[in-house]
């Protein structure tokens, strides 16, 4: 995104006038190891569009001419042109090339990548302008020793980079990313509570530790670290500027001779601290995004839970409706068909004497056999529709002594049960589901498994304010076909019906793979019923 400075500074003449004034004001602050005017030039060329660069360069050349005239043109007009013109043109050329190579060179400092890109661009441009100055100095001063020239160029390189490090982040803060009202208040408060006391302490230490001023300069970076951690790159840039100016004032007050090593340390430490502030901002934004995503995910999970509850409620309602319909149909069949069979048997018994007299005893026997078969078939159908044994004897006796054991006894299969807990704690739907699962598993084992043994284990107990029922069913038969075993019982009407029953109650249905036989593991949860509604065990 392109920079958007304040509207007032979009005007070329106003920009030139402001830059001219700022250049004249900052020129006296130039130190051997920093050049704030260089940082101002770099910031102006970095943040404003290329079409405004003419006003920036023109204002700087005009300010340089005014200062040279004020000093009496010590090197003449030739020295003015060779000393004032190449550097801003080289800086503009270097930034133009970087912008062409990387359109995103104009960026903020909100993350370490952008900050590193900006500082690398500063180092390259400063190196380029230093190389231009080296060529000019070599041509003009052939008599200067190489050591002195290298020292002067080293000062210029360090001073230009420090000028960029001190000025550009503050300029970006003011023109591209101004702090909000609350953030500005926090910055001012910490400046009063932290920065001013630290500078006062440094003033005392400078007076007491006159032979070791480098210790004071290193100590001045402590509040900068604090601001970097607390306020990100904005706090780091403002604290660095305040610390640098405070250190310069102390040097001037006590007459310390600044050394290149101390300012080089400040340049390296300032670079790291600015990167640290950017990383802190990026980490905070990342945490906010993660918190927002967690909030959205929590809301989505709540909606999913609500939909799941609605689906379970609907499935449970369908199950209850199905059981009610089965109960009604069983009652109708028992009342109508059962009574009719009983009536037919009564009439056949009353007519049995006449049938014997007419020599039709075999017809009476045949009719009674058919009626007995119909009654047995009706009993099996009624038990499938609604197990009366469950209502009459309760869940435990129905599982241990009811039709399921009779079915296995008739098939010659050993039936073992292990029943623990009080099933009266379960609601009617859960008890019915447990019996249906056992009934369906028993039917599948008898019809398809070729097993010799079937084991049923049921545990009922209270856990965390609710009731848990753990049902374990297994046989030693041939097991499931390979397709059903690999799909974990996603196919097959019987198993799928069992899974649907468990799912409708919000339970867990697992078909565990076994080398031999089938092993079903079911977990059901329900609320505790009141003692007044307890049914038979």
Give the angle subtended at the CA of 382 by the CAs of 379 and 385, to the nearest 5°. 155
Q: Are strands 453-463 and 466-475 parallel, antiparallel or unpaired?
A: antiparallel
Neighbour-count burial of 531, counting CB atoms closer than 10 A to its CB (0-12 exposed, 13-18 middle, 19+ buried): exposed
Q: Are 155 and 32 in contact (CB under 8 A)?
A: yes
- Report the C-alpha gap between 536 and 101 in whole angstroms: 85
User: Would you say residue 370 lies in a domain?
Assistant: no
- Report the C-alpha gap between 145 and 116 in whole angstroms: 36
Residue that has been written with the tokens 């965390």 in this structure: 464
Tokens for 423? 């099933």
Number of neighbouring beta carbons within 10 Å of residue 65 = 15
- Report the C-alpha gap between 143 and 498 in whole angstroms: 101
Tokens for 481? 């076909």
Q: Are 152 and 94 in contact (CB under 8 A)?
A: no
State the pLDDT at residue 490. 43
- Report the C-alpha gap between 432 and 419 in whole angstroms: 16
Q: Are 109 and 118 in contact (CB under 8 A)?
A: yes
User: Would you say residue 25 lies in a domain?
Assistant: yes
pTM of the model: 0.62
How many domains is the chain partitioned into structurally? 2
- Report the C-alpha gap between 283 and 233 in whole angstroms: 12
State the pLDDT at residue 343. 77
Taking alpha carbons only, the member of 526, 511, 532, 316 closest to residue 421 is: 526
User: Would you say residue 283 lies in a domain?
Assistant: no
Taking alpha carbons only, the member of 46, 44, 70, 69 closest to residue 57 is: 44
User: Would you say residue 521 lies in a domain?
Assistant: yes
- Report the C-alpha gap between 516 and 478 in whole angstroms: 6
Question: Domain range holding 68?
Answer: 1-178
The dihedrals phi and psi of 255, each to the nearest 5 degrees, come to 70, 30
State the pLDDT at residue 216. 64
Beta bridge partners of 462: 467
Domain end among 139, 159, 178:
178
DSSP annotation string for 71-129: TT-TTHHHHHHHHHSHHHHHHHHHHHHHHHH-GGGS--SSSHHHHHHHHHHHHHHHHHH
Sign of CA dihedral 230, 236, 241, 243: positive
Q: Are 434 and 394 in contact (CB under 8 A)?
A: no
Q: Are strands 453-463 and 414-420 parallel, antiparallel or unpaired?
A: parallel
Tokens for 239? 């604290």
CATH number at residue 421: 3.30.565.10
- Report the C-alpha gap between 17 and 316 in whole angstroms: 80
User: Would you say residue 448 lies in a domain?
Assistant: yes
Tokens for 209? 């530790």
The dihedrals phi and psi of 460, each to the nearest 5 degrees, come to -125, 130
Query: 146-175 vs 222-254: helix axis angle to the nearest 10?
Result: 130
CATH number at residue 139: 1.10.1760
Q: Buried b vs exposed e over 342-355: b needs ≥16 C-beta within 10 Å?
A: eeebeebeeebeeb
State the pLDDT at residue 139. 66
Tokens for 228? 């970097």
State the pLDDT at residue 271. 92
* Number of residues that this document lists for the chain: 537
- Report the C-alpha gap between 125 and 35 in whole angstroms: 14
State the pLDDT at residue 292. 92
DSSP annotation string for 55-69: HHHHHHHHHHHHHHH
Query: Which residues, in sequence order, are CB contacts of 89 under 8 Å at separation 6+?
Result: 57
Domain end among 122, 143, 178:
178
Q: Are 452 and 509 in contact (CB under 8 A)?
A: no
DSSP annotation string for 334-380: IIIIIHHHHHHHHHHHHTHHHHHHTT-HHHHHHHHHHHHHHHHHHHH
Tokens for 133? 């100055």
Query: Which residues, in sequence order, are CB contacts of 146 under 8 Å at separation 6+?
Result: none
Beta bridge partners of 34: 31
Q: Are 537 and 397 in contact (CB under 8 A)?
A: yes
Domain end among 132, 158, 178:
178
The dihedrals phi and psi of 26, each to the nearest 5 degrees, come to -85, -15
User: Would you say residue 1 lies in a domain?
Assistant: yes
User: Would you say residue 298 lies in a domain?
Assistant: no
Query: Which residues, in sequence order, are CB contacts of 433 under 8 Å at separation 6+?
Result: 319, 501, 502, 505, 524
The dihedrals phi and psi of 521, each to the nearest 5 degrees, come to -130, 120
- Report the C-alpha gap between 11 and 52 in whole angstroms: 9
pLDDT string in tens for the chain (537-residue length): 444 444 545 677 888 888 888 888 887 776 656 688 888 889 988 888 888 888 888 888 888 888 878 777 666 666 677 777 888 888 899 888 888 887 665 567 888 888 888 898 899 999 988 888 777 767 666 555 566 667 777 888 888 899 899 999 999 888 888 888 888 898 899 888 888 888 787 777 766 555 455 666 677 788 888 999 999 999 999 998 888 887 777 777 766 666 777 778 888 889 999 999 999 999 999 999 999 999 999 999 988 888 877 777 777 777 777 767 777 776 767 667 777 777 777 777 777 777 677 777 777 777 777 878 887 777 777 666 666 677 778 888 888 888 888 889 988 999 999 999 888 888 888 888 898 899 889 988 888 888 899 999 999 988 877 889 999 999 988 877 654 444 444 445 678 888 888 888 888 898 876 667 888 999 988 765 444 444 455
User: Would you say residue 101 lies in a domain?
Assistant: yes
């Amino acid at each position: 995104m392109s920079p958007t400075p304040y509207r007032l500074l979009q005007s070329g003449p106003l920009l030139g006038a402001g830059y001219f004034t700022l250049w004249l004001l900052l020129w006296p602050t130039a130190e051997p190891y920093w050049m704030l005017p260089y940082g101002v030039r770099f910031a102006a060329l970095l943040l404003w569009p290329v079409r405004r660069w003419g006003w920036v360069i023109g204002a700087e050349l005009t300010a340089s001419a005014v200062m040279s005239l004020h000093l009496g043109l010590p090197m003449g007009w030739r020295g003015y042109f060779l000393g004032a013109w190449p550097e801003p043109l080289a800086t503009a050329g270097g930034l133009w090339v970087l912008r062409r190579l990387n359109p995103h060179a104009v960026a903020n400092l909100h993350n370490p990548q952008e900050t590193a890109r900006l500082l690398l661009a500063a180092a390259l441009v400063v190196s380029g302008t230093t190389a231009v100055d080296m060529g000019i100095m070599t041509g003009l001063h052939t008599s200067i020793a190489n050591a002195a020239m290298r020292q002067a160029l080293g000062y210029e390189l360090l001073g230009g980079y420090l000028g960029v490090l001190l000025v550009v982040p503050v300029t970006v803060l003011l023109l591209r990313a101004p702090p909000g009202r609350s953030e500005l208040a926090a910055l001012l408060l910490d400046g009063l509570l932290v920065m001013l006391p630290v500078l006062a302490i440094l003033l005392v230490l400078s007076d007491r530790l006159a032979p070791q001023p480098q210790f004071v300069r290193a100590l001045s970076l402590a509040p900068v670290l604090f601001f970097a951690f607390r306020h990100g790159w904005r706090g780091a840039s403002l604290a660095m500027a305040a610390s640098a100016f405070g250190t310069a004032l102390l040097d001037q007050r006590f007459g310390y001779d600044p050394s290149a090593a101390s300012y080089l340390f400040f340049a390296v430490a300032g670079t790291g601290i600015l990167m640290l502030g950017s990383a802190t901002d990026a980490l905070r934004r990342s945490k906010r995004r993660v918190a927002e995503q967690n909030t959205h995910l929590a809301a989505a999970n709540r909606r999913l839970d609500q939909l799941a509850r609605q689906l379970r409620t609907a499935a449970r309602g369908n199950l209850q409706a199905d059981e009610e319909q089965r109960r009604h149909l069983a009652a109708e069949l028992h009342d109508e068909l059962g009574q009719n069979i009983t009536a037919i048997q009564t009439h056949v018994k009353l007519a049995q004497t006449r049938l014997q007299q007419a020599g039709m005893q075999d017809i009476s026997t045949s009719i009674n056999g058919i009626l007995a078969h119909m009654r047995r078939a009706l009993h099996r159908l009624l038990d499938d529709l609604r197990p009366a044994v469950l209502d009459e004897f309760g869940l435990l006796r129905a599982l241990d002594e009811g039709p399921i054991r009779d079915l296995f006894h008739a098939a010659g299969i050993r039936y073992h049960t292990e029943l623990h807990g009080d099933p009266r704690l379960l609601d009617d739907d859960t008890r019915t589901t447990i019996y249906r699962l056992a009934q369906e598993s028993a039917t599948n084992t008898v019809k398809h498994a070729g097993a010799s043994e079937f084991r049923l284990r049921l545990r009922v107990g209270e856990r965390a304010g609710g009731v848990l029922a753990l049902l374990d069913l297994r046989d030693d038969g041939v097991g499931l076909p390979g397709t059903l075993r690999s799909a974990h019982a996603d196919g097959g009407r019987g198993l799928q019906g069992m899974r649907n029953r468990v799912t409708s109650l919000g339970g867990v249905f697992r078909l565990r793979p076994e080398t031999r036989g089938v092993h079903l593991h079911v977990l059901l949860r329900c609320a505790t019923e009141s003692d007044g509604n307890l049914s038979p065990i």
